[in-house]
Amino acid sequence: MENAVLEQLKKKGFMDIQLHQIQLGLSEGLAVEHYAKPEFDWFQMEEIRKGLKAKLDVKCYANPEISFEKMRQIRKGLQDGIDLMPYLEWNAGVLKEFRLAKGKGIDLLAYIHEGYDALQLAEIRKALEKNIVFTPHINREYRAASIAEICNGLESGVDVSVYAKEMYSWRKMRELRLGLENRLDVSKYSGEFYDWEQMREIRLGLKAGIEVDSYCSLRYSAKEMRKKRLELLLKTHVNGNAFVKQMEASVSNILSSEHALDVHHFPVKAENEDNVRTDDSKKPVLGKEHLALEFRAGNMEAYLTVEIPNGTIEHETLMDFLREKNIKKGILDTVLERICNSGYEAGPILIAQGKIPLKGEDGRYEYFFRTDVQKKPKVLEDGSTDYKDIEWFEVVREGQKIAYYHEAKEGIDGYDVLGNVIKGRKGTEKRVLRGKGFRLEEDKKTYTALYNGMIRLEDEELSVVNHLELDEINMTTGNIFFDGSLHIRGNVSSGMTVKATGDIVIDGNVEVAVIETEGSVMLKKGMNSSGLGTVKAGKNIVSRFFDATKVMADGNIEVEKCLNSQLYAKGIITSTKIFAGGVASSESGFYLNNVGNHAGLKTVLKVQINEAARNDYQNILFNIKDVARQLEVLSRTYGELMEKYSAQERSEMELFQKVENAVFLKQKQLDKMKELEKKLKRMIDKEKLVSIVIGGNAYEGTVIEMGSSRWEAKNQRNITVKQQNSDISVYNN
């Protein structure tokens, strides 16, 4: 029947690609008459078919005059309960951004009416989702990439008025933003006549702490600036680092009475030869013609060699000789006195030494709250675990000073023996703190809390989140849904739901309830839920015990006793006393004590092999190559347009604007793909190290599954289980 219908349609002039969509619809049992019409192209057919499959009313957009791009947005809008039909005059890109914003409760109508294009609207939407106040700083003249740079700066807390100017391209804005975020003096390169590559070279020089004034002139091209920057970096590195050990050794030799230097002998001449004077002690008195000087370590050291051994050198003669050789600084007076008064050894003698420039102290943050809260139960002297007094968070008050930035200090200049000053590098500034819930004050150094809440510092990101404390959760209080962190001092009764975006800490018992959060969960007394309760966390879960509970964590799970429960963790699952019954799955491994029991209770431990990550890794490698090729073509075109046309001509050229936008978006796409590639690679490499460590007993009934391999315990003790290739290996701890 299906084939007959398709044959009839083919005779009516349908192309194979159209017939393919009709065939898919027939196989899915859909009412293909809505789109089995020659006036629809196959893209439109696909959108109508997907709408039918999702049980949508496709009649509103099954119109051949509506492009497939608009159809797609209308379909997705209907799936989200958003009607886009009143806005068909907008292009598909604008429809998409309006739909995405509407789904987040954001209204873009004002910006659409002002004439912002789809790419600009995308950046505005992202900023509004983060509650970034950008209104005074952007306008319709800014390209999407420029709006993104302004919003990124606002999110970082820097003064975007420095670069939110129409005279700057998005690339120039980025260089200024990065400089501000790293607390650099961007006035060194904020001139409108610098191109973005020149700006980059000056910014990198400032970040490295080198003196950029020697090359930040507009007369130097970016290529020339780069060359000069690298030369300065190399010089700083050589003078500041490469010879440190050599100079320390030299000083040590000078201070030691039993040091030995490399000996380079001169032929011994007869006494009085070459008009050498002798004094009453019969030692020859040597002149400057018998002295030689050698410079080493980039003029940081000067070595004296005396031609005739066992002679006498007058102090004034030696000083005149050093002056003639242009030695101006670093003369070692103790060495000079010893040579003139006590004699000298054969071979080179370190006579003058420069001073190594010192890098200034790096910038640092001073925090006015505890940053070392461990979020782990305390292990008592008897080996038991104390969940009662565990430290989990610290609370700050609105307006409280929570951090202060101490700027990097200037370096201390050095010099070589010729008297040339070697600039000391300024210390490295730290980036402006990222995060939420705080305000950077006008001094750009002081951070204060915006409201009362829980404070945390993780991976150099500072956050203050709303914090709510409750006595208990029961039918009287009702379910709890809170945007922030929760501290429940009492119990959570059966049938209740507790959800939050921050951490959840419960001091009392938890019965058959649902506990769910984007943060971490701490249950100080544990949870017994008769197989019906669940705990789900976006980070870690710590509990005294679980009994017949379903537990899921994107981070680690740590429990003292676990009975007949289902556990899943992307991180490590740890049990410090007993782990018996149920199924536990982990992507990172187990550290358990006493698994199973004497009765042979079945206890299954699974190490999840992430096949999806392996497939995604191969796909991302292929896609990176493809996008890199596209970016190369776009960048080449961009360069050709830059060379061929003036700035004024380019500003009025639609092609240039399109290419510039495409380069920005494609580079952004490539950067994201590379980050994903690194993340997937780490995940795959991590799997090779995953193991199951069991202390105490692994009772019969304990089953371990690693990938497709399976192993059953036979009452072993203190073992480590690993997968090698496709086999499971067991080792004694």
In a domain, 621, yes or no: yes
* pLDDT number for residue 373: 65
Angle, CA of 178, 184 and 188, to the nearest 5°: 100
State the Cα–Cα distance between residues 73 and 51, nearest whole angstrom: 11
Residues 559 and 620 in one domain: no
Residues 412 and 522 in one domain: no
State the Cα–Cα distance between residues 378 and 611, nearest whole angstrom: 37
- Final residue before a domain boundary, out of 331, 353, 375: 353
In a domain, 561, yes or no: yes
Tokens matching residue 618: 């191969």
Residue with tokens 């701890």: 733
* Domain span at 154: 44-222
In a domain, 271, yes or no: no
State the Cα–Cα distance between residues 112 and 719, nearest whole angstrom: 64
- Between 563 and 688, residue with greater pLDDT: 563
In a domain, 517, yes or no: yes
The answer to whether residues 168 and 191 touch, using CB atoms and an 8 Å cutoff, is: no
Residues 491 and 436 in one domain: no
* pLDDT number for residue 426: 87
Grouping H, G, I as helix, E, B as strand and the rest as coil, residue 377 is coil
Spatial CA neighbour of 604 closest among 718, 469, 733, 706: 706
User: Residue 610: what residue type?
Assistant: N
pLDDT 10s digits, 135-163: 889 999 999 999 999 999 998 889 999 99
CA distances from 197 to 185, 218, 659, 662 (A): 17, 12, 18, 19
State the Cα–Cα distance between residues 134 and 147, nearest whole angstrom: 9
- Between 258 and 2, residue with greater pLDDT: 2
450 phi, psi to nearest 5 deg: -80, -25
In a domain, 634, yes or no: yes
* pLDDT number for residue 4: 66
- Indicate whether 392 pLDDT > 60: no
- pLDDT above 90 covers a percentage of the chain that reads 50
Residues 437 and 483 in one domain: no
Residues 287 and 387 in one domain: no
- Between 377 and 8, residue with greater pLDDT: 8
- Indicate whether 487 pLDDT > 50: yes
Q: Is the pTM of this model over 0.85?
A: no
Residues 664 and 543 in one domain: no
User: Residue 476: what residue type?
Assistant: T
> What is the number of other CB atoms lying within 10 angstroms of the CB of residue 387?
19
Residues 595 and 448 in one domain: no
* Average pLDDT score over the chain: 85
CA distances from 79 to 94, 103, 246 (A): 18, 11, 72
Residues 563 and 490 in one domain: yes
Considering its fold, how many domains does the chain have in total?
A: 5
Spatial CA neighbour of 7 closest among 21, 16, 24: 16
In a domain, 470, yes or no: no
Residues 83 and 169 in one domain: yes
The answer to whether residues 422 and 299 touch, using CB atoms and an 8 Å cutoff, is: no
In a domain, 200, yes or no: yes
- Where b means 16+ CB within 10 Å and e means fewer, 426-445 reads bbbbbebbebebbebeeeeb
Length of the chain equals: 733
Grouping H, G, I as helix, E, B as strand and the rest as coil, residue 650 is helix
Residues 49 and 161 in one domain: yes
The answer to whether residues 464 and 444 touch, using CB atoms and an 8 Å cutoff, is: no
305 has which bridge partners?
A: 292
The answer to whether residues 631 and 670 touch, using CB atoms and an 8 Å cutoff, is: yes
At 71, the pLDDT band (50, 70, 90 cuts) reads very high
In a domain, 306, yes or no: yes
Residues 88 and 212 in one domain: yes
* CB-based contacts of 662, cutoff 8 Å, min separation 6: 634
pLDDT 10s digits, 624-655: 998 898 888 888 888 888 888 887 787 778 77
At 204, the pLDDT band (50, 70, 90 cuts) reads very high
Residues 95 and 184 in one domain: yes
pLDDT 10s digits, 351-374: 999 998 888 899 999 999 888 765
State the Cα–Cα distance between residues 202 and 179, nearest whole angstrom: 10
Spatial CA neighbour of 541 closest among 561, 522, 524: 522
Spatial CA neighbour of 488 closest among 476, 471, 509: 471
State the Cα–Cα distance between residues 306 and 278, nearest whole angstrom: 16
The sign one gets for the Cα dihedral 132, 135, 138, 139 is: positive
